[in-house]
Structure formats: C-alpha cells, structure tokens
Amino acid sequence: MSKTGYKKLKGTTGVYKHLNSKNYLATKKVDGQLQQKTFRTLFEATQWREQVGNVELPTVQSEFSTLKAVWETMQRVHFPTLATSTKAIWHRRYEPLKKLENLPMDQITPSKITKWITDLVTLYRSDDEQNETRGRASRCNLDNELNLLKTIFNWYKESEEYERESMQLTCPVKKKHKKMGFIRPVPEKKKQIDLEHFLSFLNYLKPLYRDLAEMQFWTAGRIGEIAGLQWSNIDLTNRRMLIKHTCIWDMTFKTFLELKPFPKNREPRPVYIHDSILRILKQREAFKELGNDYVFHVEGKPLNYCTIQLNYREATRKGKLPYSGTHILRHGMAKLARKVGGGLDAVIAMTGHKDIKLADHYSKCNEDDQKEVSQKILEHVKNFQLPEVESEYHVSKNVFSLAERRAATKGA
C-alpha cells in the first residue's frame, strides 16, 4: 500500500494518518517483510504494531482463568440480564482492556494496571488524538474503562463459575489509578435546564416533540421511558400513571429496537397526573390508533432516538440555549424539585432515584445558585453593618515617615 496521502504522526513509530479519510496506516517489518494494515483509530494501529510479528513465548500454566475467558463467560451468563444499550457500551469500553485480556486474573496486578494506564495516557495525550473532531472525540480520562475492569473483577469474585479460584484474589484497581488516568479536564457542560430556558425551548419544538419534552420535564423521566409510555398504564379517572416501559434504541443508528417492560431500576414509578400532564394526554388522545398503545408515536410507529435528538438539538440552536442532549429535562426538574421542595426528598419523589447520591448529583448546585446565595448573604450582612464613624486621623496620618519615627524616639 502506498503512503501517498498519509502524514507521519509525531510521537509514534510506523504509524501514518490519511489526510482525507482520517484512517491510520500501521507499518512494521517482520522477518525482512514489510507488514502494514489500515485502522480506524490510533489505538488499534499502535496495538497491532505491538502484536504483529511477536514470537509467542510458551505460556506458563496457571490455575486462574484469563481476563478474556472471564469476559466471555460474563457475556454468556450475565449479559442477558442487561439492557441492550448497556451491553453495547460495555463492549465499547472493553476495547482498551484487550491489552490485558491474555493475562490470568491473578497476574493482573496493580503494577500491570499502572503500566497499562501509562501507555494509554501517553497515546491519548498525543496531539493527533486530542485534535480529533466529533465522532472521534478526544478523551478526558480512563474512568469508564477502570470502572468496567472493576465490574468484571467484582462479577468474577461473586460468580459461581469462578468461586474457587477467585476466593483469595482482591480487585487490583486502586484509587491512585483513577488519578493516573487523567488526560485533560472534562469540558464544562450545562446539564440542568432552568425554567425560563425550558419555556423558551418548548416554543421552538414541533407539536409532537413539544408534548414529549413537556411530559419528560413534568415527570422528570428518562427519554426512553417517556417515548415508551403506554396508554394501558394511564388512569385518567384517578389521575395516576405508571412509568413502566422503556424504549431501547440501537447505539449506532439510534433507531428503535424493542420496548423493555421495565425502567432502568426495574421498578415502575407512579406519577400524579396534574393539570399540565392531563392537558398533554388529552392532546395525544386525538392520535390514538387501534392496536397501538404508544402515547407518543409517528403513524403508529415508536419514535426513533435520532429524530428526537434532531428536534431537541434544533430547538436549542434556534433558542440559542447553552444545552445539549435529551437528559437536560430530567436534570432540570430535579434541580427545580430541590429548590421548590427544599431537599433531596423532593428530588427522589420526582425522579424515582433510590440512591441519595444520584439524587444529589442530578440536583446539585451550580454557578447560578452560588450567585443567588452570595447576593442574599451580601444583603444580610449589610443589615448588620455598623454606621460609619469619622476617624480622628486623616488617612495619610496612618503612615509615618522615617524622620518622624526617629524624632519621636529621641524625644522619648
């Protein structure tokens, strides 16, 4: 393969980047023969260079399973209990862990993890990785990969398949590894939409998506739960509905896959139908179709996440609002519930969180809160300030010259 159109990457050996396709060409001489291969990511290219042509040493017999074997067993045994989206995310996060997967579990030590982190941080801090555009966004840290490794070890320790061999092992992921995995600060992102911006946001949405967004806000729901809302779970007479089903979308194309019969925490959440929610449901009744139980749909078909995302993004652009994503409405209601309700109990009542730390995370204070509280404190302090008293001395008398000091000393 010709290197025409490729540029050599600084800080790497035998790796080139195509100027147009942005793909990576990895090259290496093995027994006098030039081997080369094209990859989509720099990580894959450097990993291939490390592995190709290496002579495999005789493997030392170990009583412990390799990380790869544990991962494959975990997929077979544990993955059926997970959501489709979660499985896709874990598969993506496992990619960097492939450098460790041939090691037996007892040989994945803190020092091995330290070396693995150091190599990855060096790679991801390179100029080429940091300058990648959307779709190949540059990394901020290795938190997700370390969390997955910890999850695999925890499952390994608790599973019946490995209960004998894992008895004496402890998780090798330490607190220091998270600090070592730092690459760059996480970009600041506003997650909690405020009430004024929410009302502006609604004005730029089409009727279907305006109703969807408003329902998501009032219920503090996840977008999949609201898109999967079923008429069979709504009792208009008693003004009660259940957040019970969830739409599952394909991670790549963001299209509808299936309707899961329970939410993320596997517990249906009752919601009181107040007047604003009732108004939305009355509007959606006009679109009811025989044999279709979805409250929100397009000609009887469930909503695709890509279409929801497109409409939300367009509304924030037109309204010049500093937000992105569909989760801002859940965060926004959590924040409003804490402000109006006066505590985390109000947040939990609205969002359905079981973990008080998550409720605090969703409704945490931001820069606007700091501004509001600091102004209130200033006003409070002003009410207790003493009246100004004219000083006996002029300000300049607070400063004495050296000559005056000497004269005063002699006089004494």
Annotated domain spans of the chain: 6-51, 67-180, 195-351
Tens-place pLDDT, residues 118-129: 999 988 888 777
- In the predicted structure, residue 53 carries a pLDDT above the cut 80: no
Q: Which amino acid is at 343?
A: G
The DSSP element (H or E) to which 411 belongs, if any, is: helix 402-411
- Choose the weakest-confidence range: 161-170, 235-244, 369-378, 396-405: 396-405
CA dist 171 and 113 (Å) reads 11
| Rg (alpha carbons) of the chain, rounded to whole number | 30
pLDDT-derived band at 58 (thresholds 50, 70, 90) equals very low
Q: Which of 210-224, 229-243, 308-322, 396-410 has the lowest mean pLDDT?
A: 396-410
What DSSP letter does each residue of 157-208 carry, written as one string? HH-STTTTTTTT------HHHHHHTB-SPPPP------HHHHHHHHHTS-HH
Give the residue with greater pLDDT, 289 vs 382. 289
Place of tokens 């497109």: 310
For residue 305, the surrounding DSSP H or E stretch is helix 305-318
H-helix or E-strand spanning residue 241: strand 240-243
Q: Distance of CA 349 to CAs 13, 220, 230, 276, 337, Å?
A: 56, 10, 21, 18, 9
Cα separation, 268 vs 376, whole angstroms? 40
Residue 56, pLDDT score: 45
CA-nearest of 331, 309, 349 to 198 is 331
Neighbour tally for 315: CB within 10 Å: 21
Please calculate the CA angle 290-292-294 and round it to the nearest 5 degrees.
Answer: 140
Which one is the CATH code of 195-351: 1.10.443.10, 2.60.40.10, 1.10.3720.10, 3.40.50.300? 1.10.443.10
pLDDT number for residue 405: 67
Distance of CA 268 to the CA centre of its chain: 24
**Residue written as tokens 């609205």?**
350
Segment 247-263, tens digit of pLDDT: 999 888 899 999 999 88
